[in-house]
Amino acid sequence: MTPHRRSVLLAAPLLAAPALPGAGRAQGAWAPQRPVRIIVPFGLGGSADVAARFLAEPLSQALGQPIVVENRPGAGATIGTDQVAKAPADGHTLLLMSNTHTANETLLPSRPYVLMRDLAPVAAINVAYHALVVHPSLAARTVPELIALLRANPGRFDYASSGPGTPYHIAGEVFRAMAGVEVQHVPFRGSNEARTAVISGQVPIMFDAIPTMREQIVAGRVRGLATTGPQRNPLLPELPAVAEALPGYEASIWLGLMAPTGTPRPVVDRLNAEVNRVLERAETRERQAAAGAQPMPMTVEAFDAYLRRDIERQREWITMARITAG
């Protein structure tokens, strides 16, 4: 095995496919001169980590260099994010980010960077919705029953999340505010720890990724109550949308790539084009659907506008639900 191939395998890609016709470097287009790092400011196994490794192989083939995925979790995703913000703006260091970052613009005023000042949009990746689950011992089998139980027992029950400011935390707090209930947030250091707490009965309620929780629902370890998209989800069609009980409720996790501000536009354009080529494959759409996600290819300008809108939307939700980072 050559060193080049070994580096690609270390990135643990989930999508291995031959290079697309025409996906190679166009004449005069930018190409990386050394391995490209994708910094994931979250732990192993989460949605962002999976997405980074999903992209690693096809991007490596298209760009002609290994793609190395590095997890740098901690401090509400600010540690890894700040590392990218301070990296050379040459296309060799990228950030795998999510709506945790747009929420942090309001939740974490003391963070060491400003998202739209210190980082440049590159490409959107995908969007996915959550499952609302409870431990089987909880006396609630529907969302209305859960709301009634929480209203009758203010402050008695807890819900788990993968950490302050994460999409699962925001989902729980917006649910709390819209349902008019008192329920306590218990943050964990990642979805795996939070999920374990719910399965064990330590914490009775959680919003989590649909594909992961689907396995737990089928096994009877948790009880699924609803999903958080605007309609029922094809992976759990038997469950209603939360919005059927709370009109207007919606919660998702979306992912994208950013680079240090000052990255030359030809570099950003090349990266955007290659990511979009991967997202537009029929094979990608099939695999993303199986994982409960939808690819969302965008131009650089469209992703920039999307980020700015989401910062404002997150600010509205955080203000409405009186969410804090604690």
Residue 133, pLDDT score: 98
Place of tokens 């031959």: 18
- pLDDT level of residue 17 (50, 70, 90 thresholds): very low
Residue 74 within a domain? yes
**Which of 244, 266, 286 is the C-terminal boundary of a domain?**
244
Residue 28 within a domain? no
CATH code for the domain in which residue 69 is found? 3.40.190.150
Q: pLDDT tens across 91-135, in order?
A: 999 999 999 999 999 999 999 999 999 999 999 999 999 999 999
Q: How far is CA 131 from CA 105, 107, 254, 276, in A?
A: 25, 24, 15, 28
- 10 Å Cβ neighbour count for 187? 19
Res. 205: pLDDT tops 90: yes
What is the pTM assigned to this prediction?
0.83
**Which of 184, 210, 244 is the C-terminal boundary of a domain?**
244
Res. 20: pLDDT tops 50: no
Residue 234, pLDDT score: 92
Strands (DSSP E) contained in the chain are 36-40, 67-71, 93-98, 119-134, 158-161, 184-187, 205-209, 223-227, 252-260, 293-295
Cα 252 from Cα 313, distance rounded (Å): 12
Q: Are 188 and 110 in contact (CB under 8 A)?
A: no
Residue 170, pLDDT score: 94
Residue 85, pLDDT score: 98
In order, the DSSP letters of 51-88 are: HHHHHHHHHHHHHTS-EEEEE---TTTHHHHHHHHTS-
Do 75 and 182 belong to one domain? Answer: no
Do 52 and 134 belong to one domain? Answer: no
Residue 122, pLDDT score: 98
Q: How far is CA 52 from CA 13, 31, 55, 98, 279, in A?
A: 8, 19, 5, 12, 13
- pLDDT level of residue 187 (50, 70, 90 thresholds): very high
Do 7 and 119 belong to one domain? Answer: yes
Residue 24 within a domain? no
Residue 44, pLDDT score: 84
* Pairing assessment for the beta strands 119-134 and 158-161 based on DSSP bridges: unpaired
- pLDDT level of residue 326 (50, 70, 90 thresholds): low
Task: Provide the domain limits for residue 39.
Answer: 3-12+33-126+253-321
Q: What is the DSSP letter of 137?
A: T
Q: pLDDT tens across 161-182, in order?
A: 988 888 999 999 999 999 999 9
**Which of 244, 274, 301 is the C-terminal boundary of a domain?**
244
Do 219 and 133 belong to one domain? Answer: yes
- pLDDT level of residue 192 (50, 70, 90 thresholds): confident
Residue 16, pLDDT score: 34
Do 134 and 240 belong to one domain? Answer: yes
Do 221 and 305 belong to one domain? Answer: no
How many domains are contained in the chain?
A: 2
